[in-house]
Amino acid sequence: MDAASLSGIILGISLIIGAIFINGQLDNFFNLSGFMIVFGGTIAATLITFQLKDVFTAFKAAFFVFTEKKMDPNDMVETMIELCTISRRQGLIALSRMEIEDDLLKKACNLIADGSKEDLIRDTLHIEIESMKQRHFIIQDVFRKMAVYAPSFGMMGTLIGLVQMLRELSNPETIGPSMAIALLTTFYGMLLSTLFFLPIAGKLKDRTLVEVINLEIIFEGAISILEDNNPLFVYEKLSSYIPAKRRRPRRPFFVKK
Amino acid sequence: MDAASLSGIILGISLIIGAIFINGQLDNFFNLSGFMIVFGGTIAATLITFQLKDVFTAFKAAFFVFTEKKMDPNDMVETMIELCTISRRQGLIALSRMEIEDDLLKKACNLIADGSKEDLIRDTLHIEIESMKQRHFIIQDVFRKMAVYAPSFGMMGTLIGLVQMLRELSNPETIGPSMAIALLTTFYGMLLSTLFFLPIAGKLKDRTLVEVINLEIIFEGAISILEDNNPLFVYEKLSSYIPAKRRRPRRPFFVKK
Amino acid sequence: MDAASLSGIILGISLIIGAIFINGQLDNFFNLSGFMIVFGGTIAATLITFQLKDVFTAFKAAFFVFTEKKMDPNDMVETMIELCTISRRQGLIALSRMEIEDDLLKKACNLIADGSKEDLIRDTLHIEIESMKQRHFIIQDVFRKMAVYAPSFGMMGTLIGLVQMLRELSNPETIGPSMAIALLTTFYGMLLSTLFFLPIAGKLKDRTLVEVINLEIIFEGAISILEDNNPLFVYEKLSSYIPAKRRRPRRPFFVKK
Amino acid sequence: MDAASLSGIILGISLIIGAIFINGQLDNFFNLSGFMIVFGGTIAATLITFQLKDVFTAFKAAFFVFTEKKMDPNDMVETMIELCTISRRQGLIALSRMEIEDDLLKKACNLIADGSKEDLIRDTLHIEIESMKQRHFIIQDVFRKMAVYAPSFGMMGTLIGLVQMLRELSNPETIGPSMAIALLTTFYGMLLSTLFFLPIAGKLKDRTLVEVINLEIIFEGAISILEDNNPLFVYEKLSSYIPAKRRRPRRPFFVKK
Amino acid sequence: MDAASLSGIILGISLIIGAIFINGQLDNFFNLSGFMIVFGGTIAATLITFQLKDVFTAFKAAFFVFTEKKMDPNDMVETMIELCTISRRQGLIALSRMEIEDDLLKKACNLIADGSKEDLIRDTLHIEIESMKQRHFIIQDVFRKMAVYAPSFGMMGTLIGLVQMLRELSNPETIGPSMAIALLTTFYGMLLSTLFFLPIAGKLKDRTLVEVINLEIIFEGAISILEDNNPLFVYEKLSSYIPAKRRRPRRPFFVKK
C-alpha cells in the first residue's frame, strides 16, 4: 500500500472529524438522505457520461494505484540493456526465447525476432503507447468529472433544503437546524471532491506519467536493438529518462551461455 | 439502449425526487414559468450560438448515442485483415467488388481499386477523419455550451424573483415562499446542466473517441493494403489500438473461391 | 437574416420579459444608471484591451454573421473541379483569364498562372489562411472578453449599491428597494454576457470554422491543379471536407470552347 | 497615446465615479487601508511570483504599449522588398552596408552578408523569435496573475472586516457601516482586475501578435533573399500576413546607384 | 536570497497584519483548529495526489528557488563558445578532459568525445531536457494543486462552523463570534493559496523557463560542436536565446596551451 496516500487519507479524515468534535457532536454531520443525493447523484451523472466498463476500470485502477507497486524505470533500462547485449551476441532471433513479463516489451521482441520492418515496429509500438495513454486519460477523466459533479449535487441538495425551509417559515425555531441540514450536502460535495475525487484523479495521472516513461524506454530500446547500437550508448540514451540522482550506474552484463 | 446511461438517468432523477419527498411536497418544486426561463433561455442562447442544423444534429446524436450500438474495433480489425488477405491473393481490384457498409472504408477501397496514388489516398482519408472529428466537436460543443448557459439563466431567474420580492417587502409572510420560488430556477439550471447537458456532452465525446479508433484502423489498414504488407504484421499493428485484454486473437482467414 | 439566431434572440428576450411580467412590473427592471455602468464599463474595458479597429471590425462582423449568407463548400468544390479541368485542357495560363470572386482563390490562380514554384504557392496560401484565422480569433476574442467583463461590472454595480445602502440603514423601509436596484446590475451583466456576448462569440467561431473549410478546399485544390491531378481524384479529396450526407455528387463538367 | 485606450480608461473611471455620485457620496468609497491591502497584497504576491526585473519590464511595457506607435507591417514588407531587390542587383554583401533600425533585421542582414549557411540563419532567427515570444508571454503573465491576485486580496480584506464586525455585534448601529467598509475591498479588487489588469494583459498580448507578424515578415523575407527569389513573388508571400483590405500595393522600387 | 521574493513575503504579511490591527485585535484571527483543518487538509489531499518523494522535492525546490542563484545564460553561452573553440583546435577528444560542472553539459561532452553518432547525441540530450521539463512540471503542480485544495478546505471549515452554529441558535449572543470563527478558515484558505502556493508555483515555473534556456543553449551548442561550426556563428545562434539588451558581447577566446 502506498504509505503517503494512506497517511493522506487518514490525516484528512481525522482532521475533518477532529474539527467537528471540538465544538459539536459528530452526529450533527450525518445525514443519510443528504449523502445519498450527493454521492448517488454523482454516480448517476458519471454513469450517463461514461461507458459502464470505463467506470468499473476507473474504480479498479483507483484501488490498484494505491496498492500495487510500480515498476522502477531503472529495472526497465537494465532489462533493455540486457536484451540489447543478447541480441548483439546471439542475433535478433534470440529475443523470441526470452521470458518477458511486460506485454509491450514481449510484443516488441516478437516483432523484432520475426524480422518485421523497422517502420512497422515503430508504428505498432507507437500506436500501443498512444492507445494506452488515451485509455488512461479516460480513466482519470472519470474521477475528474466526479470531482465536478459532486459539489454541484451538493449545492442542489442545499437548494432543495432551502426551498423546503423557506416554504415553512411559520416555526422560527426550526430554521436553524433545517438550514444546517441543507448546508450538509454542500459540505459532502466539497469533501468528496477535494479529499477523494481530485486527489485520485491526480494520482492516476501521476502513475500514467511513470508508466509512459517505462513504455518509452521500451520503445527507444527496441529501436536501438534494431539499429544494433552499442549497449554503452544505449544505456546513455535510456538512462536519460531517469533523474540524474536516481539513475542506477550501468552494470556490466555477461551473457550466460 | 445503453444500460448504464438509462440506469444513470433513472437513478439521478429518483434521487432528486426522493430527496424532495422526504421532507416536503413535490409540487413545491414545480414552477412552469421558472422552468421556461431556464430551459427556454438556454435554447434561445444555443440557437444564437450555433447553426440550426448543428443544434438538430446534436439532439439527434444525443438520442442515438444512448440507443445505437457502437462498432467493436475487433470487428473492424478483422474486416481489414480480410480485405488485406483478399487484395494480396486476388489483386487490389478485388476490393471494388466487396460489399462494405462503412462509408470511409468503402471510399478507401474504391480509391485503392481505382489505382490512386498513395499520397492522394492518405490525404483524402486524413481529411475525412479530421472533418469528422471537427463536426463531432461542434456537436459536443452544443451540449457543453448548454451546460454553461443553463446555470446562468437559472441565476437570472433567481435575480428576477429576488428583485420582485425586495420591491414588495410590505408583507413579511410572503418573503419565504417568494424566495423559495426564486431559488427554484437556480436549482433547475444546475440540474439541467449537471444531470443532463454535461453528461451528454461527455458521452458524445466518449463515442467520438471510439469512432475515431475505428477510422484510424481503417486508415492504417488501407495504407497497409497499399504497401502490400503481410496480414500477420497488419494484425499486430491494427490490434494495437485495442487494449490487450479485449483484443480478439487473430483468426485464420480463408479466401472463399 | 439567419432565422435560428433571430428566433433565438426573440425567444430569449420574450422569456425574460415574460418572466418579469408574470409577478411584477417591467419598470422595476429598468435602471439607466445601472445599465450604463455595466454596458459602458464593459465597452471601456474592451477599448483598453483591443485596438479600436479590432473593436469596430468585431461589431461589424457580429452584424454580418447574422445577415450574410455563407458560402456552401459544395460550390467551392465545384469551382475547384472546374478550374482543375480547365487548367488540364487549356494549360495553367488559362487560370489567369477566369473571373473569380474569392480573394484567396484569385491570388492562388494568379500565382499558378505566373508560374510560381509550388513551395512559394504553398507558403503564400498557408500564410494567408493562418493570418485570417488569427484575425478571426481576435474578433471572437472581443466578444469573449466582453462576456467576461460584463458580469464583473454587474457585480461592481451591485457592490456600489450595497455599500451605499449599508451606509444609510436608518430608514429600514428603503432597504428592500435599494437592494433590488443594486441587484439589477448583476442581472444586466449576466444577461448581456449569456444572451448576447457569449452566443455572438460562439457564432463567430462557428462561422470561422466554415470559412476555414472553404479556404482549405482552395488550398488543396490549388496544389492538385499544380500537380496536374485527375479531376476525378481531386473531387474525391476535396469533397472529404463535407459530411457524406450533404456532399453534392460530382457533376460532369464540360469546358466551353 | 493610444486614443482608444485613453478614452477607455476615462470612460470606465467616469462611469464608476458617476454611479457612485448619483446616489451617495464619493468619500464613502475611499478607504486607504482597504486599498492598501488589495493593491499592496497584489504587488506582494506578484513580487514573489516573478523576478523583479520581469515586474519592472512589465510595468514599463504597460506604459509604452499605450504611448508608443507600433510599426505598420506594410512598411516592413516594403523594407524587405527593397532589401531583396538590392541583394539581387548588388549581391548579398550589399546588405551589410544598409542602415537598419530593427534589431532582428540587422542581425539577419549581417548573417546573410557574412555568408552563413541557410540552416544557421533559419535556426538563429527562429530562436530569436521564439525567445521574444516567451519573454513577452512572461510580461503579459505578470498582469494576468495580478488580475487573479487582486480579487482574491479583495475578498480577504472583506473577510477581515466581516470577522471584526461579527466579533463586536453589541452595537447594532455600526453593523451597516462596518459591512460597507468590508465590502469596499472586494470592490477594489474587482475594479483593479477588470478595468486595469485584465485589459492591460490583453493589450500586451495584442501588441505581441502584431510584433510577431513583423518578425515573421523579416524571417520569411530573409529566407527569400537567401534563396534569391523574385521580388514580385516575395511581395505576394510577405503581403499575405496583412489583411487584404489594408494591404498596400507593391511600389516599383529603383535601386539608387 | 531572492530580494524581490523576500520583500514580497514581508510586504504581504505586514499588510495583512496591519489591516487586522487597524480595527481590531490580532488574536481574533488566530484559531489553531481552523488552521489545522485548512493546512492539514491541504497537505493530506496533496499526499494522496502525489508520490511522497515528489512532495518532498517540491518543498525543497520551493526553498531553493528563493535562495539559490540561478545561472546566467550569458555564462553558458561563453562556456559553449569556449568548448567550441577548443574542440576545433584540439579535436573533439579534448572535450573529455574539460572540467565541467553542469550534468547535462558533461554528458554531452562525454558523448561527443566518445564519438557517438549525432542522432544518438541529439536523442539523448532531447530526452534529458524533456524528462527534466516533465519533472519540473510535477513539482510546480504540487503547489498548483495545493492552491486549489486550500480554499476548498477553507470553505469546508466554514461550513462545519456554520452547521454547528445553526444547530445552537438558542443563544443569539454567540452567533456573531461563532460565525467570525467559521469565516476564519475561508480566510486562511485564501491567504495560503494567494500569498504562498500560487506565487511559489509561479516562481518555480519561472525558474524552469530560465533553466530550460540554459539546457537549450547546451543542446544547440553541442550540435554546433559536432557540426564543427565557426564559433563566430555559434555565438550568433546561442546568444539569440538572450534578450538583446542583456546579451554580453562576444569575448575573443584564446586557447591556453
CA distances from A225 to D97, E115, E118 (A): 54, 19, 18
What pLDDT, on a 0 to 100 scale, did the predictor assign at position A141? 96
- Nearest CB to B123; choose among C18, C173, C237: C237
- Nearest CB to B51; choose among C4, C16, C200: C4
Residues of A in contact with B202 (CB under 8 A): 48-50, 145
Rounded-to-integer distance, Cα C109 and Cα B39, Å: 50
Q: Is the minimum CB–CB distance between E111 and chain A shorter than 8 Å? A: yes
Mutate to test the interface with A, among B2, B15, B224, B239 (most CBs of A within 10 A): B15
Q: What is the mean pLDDT of residues B174-183?
A: 85
Phi and psi of E181, rounded to 5°? -65, -40
Mutate to test the interface with D, among E7, E15, E191, E239 (most CBs of D within 10 A): E15
Query: Do E197 and E147 touch, CB atoms closer than 8 A?
Result: yes
Residues of B in contact with C198 (CB under 8 A): 45, 49, 145, 148-149
Min Cα separation B133/chain C (Å): 11
Interface contact flag, B8 A135, Cβ < 8 Å: no
| Neighbors of chain A with 3 or more C-beta pairs under 8 Å | B, E
Interface contact flag, D16 C156, Cβ < 8 Å: yes
Q: Which residue of D has its CA nearest to E8?
A: D44
Query: Does the structure's ipTM exceed the value 0.85?
Result: yes
Residues, chain B: 257
| Closest alpha carbon to D140 in D197, D55, D205 | D205
Reduced to 3 states (helix: H, G, I; strand: E, B; else coil), residue C23 is helix
What pLDDT, on a 0 to 100 scale, did the predictor assign at position C255? 52
Q: Is the minimum CB–CB distance between C57 and chain D shorter than 8 Å? A: no
Q: Is the minimum CB–CB distance between E43 and chain D shorter than 8 Å? A: no
Residues of D in contact with E187 (CB under 8 A): 156, 159-160, 163
E228: left (phi over 0), alpha (psi -120 to 50) or beta: left
The cell for B87 is 487484395
Phi and psi of C159, rounded to 5°? -65, -40
What pLDDT, on a 0 to 100 scale, did the predictor assign at position C38? 95
Q: What is the mean pLDDT of residues A128-152?
A: 96
Interface contact flag, A18 E41, Cβ < 8 Å: no
Q: How many Cβ contacts (< 8 angstroms) between chains B and C? A: 154
Rounded-to-integer distance, Cα B91 and Cα A54, Å: 41
Min Cα separation A178/chain E (Å): 8
Scanning E188-217 for CB atoms below 8 A from A yields none
Q: Which residue of E has its CA nearest to D151?
A: E194
B151, amino acid identity: P
First-to-last alpha carbon distance for chain D, in angstroms, is: 39
Q: Is the minimum CB–CB distance between C96 and chain D shorter than 8 Å? A: no
Min Cα separation E46/chain A (Å): 7
Mean pLDDT of chain B: 89
| Neighbors of chain E with 3 or more C-beta pairs under 8 Å | A, D
Q: Is the minimum CB–CB distance between D187 and chain C shorter than 8 Å? A: yes
What pLDDT, on a 0 to 100 scale, did the predictor assign at position B167? 82
Buried residues in B229-252 as b, exposed as e (16+ CB within 10 A): bbbebbbbbbbbbbeeeeeeebee
Residues of C in contact with B161 (CB under 8 A): 23
Interface contact flag, D103 E244, Cβ < 8 Å: yes
The residue ranges of chain E whose pLDDT is under 50 are: 257
What pLDDT, on a 0 to 100 scale, did the predictor assign at position C257? 44
User: Where would I find the H helices in chain C?
Assistant: 3-23, 32-35, 41-49, 52-67, 73-90, 103-113, 118-167, 175-191, 198-226, 231-238
Burial of D212 (0-12, 13-18, 19+ CB in 10 A): middle
CA distances from C194 to B149, C59, D44 (A): 6, 17, 35
| Neighbors of chain C with 3 or more C-beta pairs under 8 Å | B, D
Q: What is the pLDDT along chain D (257 residues), one digit of tens a residue?
A: 577 788 899 999 999 888 888 777 788 888 888 999 999 999 999 999 998 889 999 999 988 887 777 788 999 999 999 999 998 888 888 888 888 888 899 999 999 998 888 889 999 999 999 999 999 999 999 999 999 999 999 999 999 999 988 887 767 777 888 888 899 999 999 999 999 999 999 999 999 998 999 999 999 999 999 888 888 889 999 999 999 888 888 876 655 54
The model's pLDDT over B222-251, given as tens digits with 9 standing for 90+, comes to 999 988 888 888 999 999 999 988 888 887
Interface contact flag, B131 C241, Cβ < 8 Å: yes
What pLDDT, on a 0 to 100 scale, did the predictor assign at position A1? 53
Rounded-to-integer distance, Cα B95 and Cα B114, Å: 10
The residue ranges of chain C whose pLDDT is under 70 are: 1, 170, 252-257
- Nearest CB to A164; choose among B9, B24, B229: B24
Interface contact flag, C236 B46, Cβ < 8 Å: no
Burial of E63 (0-12, 13-18, 19+ CB in 10 A): exposed
Q: Is the minimum CB–CB distance between E23 and chain D shorter than 8 Å? A: yes
The model's pLDDT over B1-54, given as tens digits with 9 standing for 90+, comes to 577 788 899 999 999 888 888 777 788 888 888 999 999 999 999 999 998 889
Q: Is the minimum CB–CB distance between E174 and chain A shorter than 8 Å? A: no
pLDDT above 70: percentage of residues in chain E: 96
DSSP string, C229-247: --HHHHHHHHGGGS-TTTP
Residues of A in contact with E44 (CB under 8 A): 8-9, 11-12, 15, 195
Min Cα separation B245/chain C (Å): 34
* pLDDT grade for A257, boundaries at 50, 70 and 90: very low
Q: Is the minimum CB–CB distance between D229 and chain C shorter than 8 Å? A: yes
Residues of D in contact with C103 (CB under 8 A): 244
Min Cα separation B121/chain C (Å): 8
Buried residues in C6-32 as b, exposed as e (16+ CB within 10 A): eebbebbeebbeebbeeebeeebbebe
Please indicate whether residue C170 or residue A232 has the higher confidence score (pLDDT). A232
Question: In the 8-state DSSP scheme, what is residue D37?
Answer: I
What pLDDT, on a 0 to 100 scale, did the predictor assign at position A11? 92
- Nearest CB to A157; choose among B19, B24, B184: B19
Rounded-to-integer distance, Cα C99 and Cα C121, Å: 20
Interface contact flag, A243 E153, Cβ < 8 Å: no
Residue A46, pLDDT above cutoff 90: yes
The cell for D58 is 512589465
Assess whether chains E and A touch, using the rule of 3 or more C-beta pairs within 8 angstroms. yes
- Nearest CB to C187; choose among B43, B145, B156: B156
- Nearest CB to C15; choose among B36, B155, B163: B36
Interface contact flag, D177 C157, Cβ < 8 Å: no
Residues of A in contact with B209 (CB under 8 A): 134, 138
Min Cα separation E171/chain A (Å): 12
What pLDDT, on a 0 to 100 scale, did the predictor assign at position E148? 97
Q: Highest mean pLDDT: which of A38-52, A55-69, C64-78? A: A38-52
Scanning E134-153 for CB atoms below 8 A from A yields 134-135, 138, 145, 148-149, 152-153
- Nearest CB to E194; choose among D45, D111, D116: D45
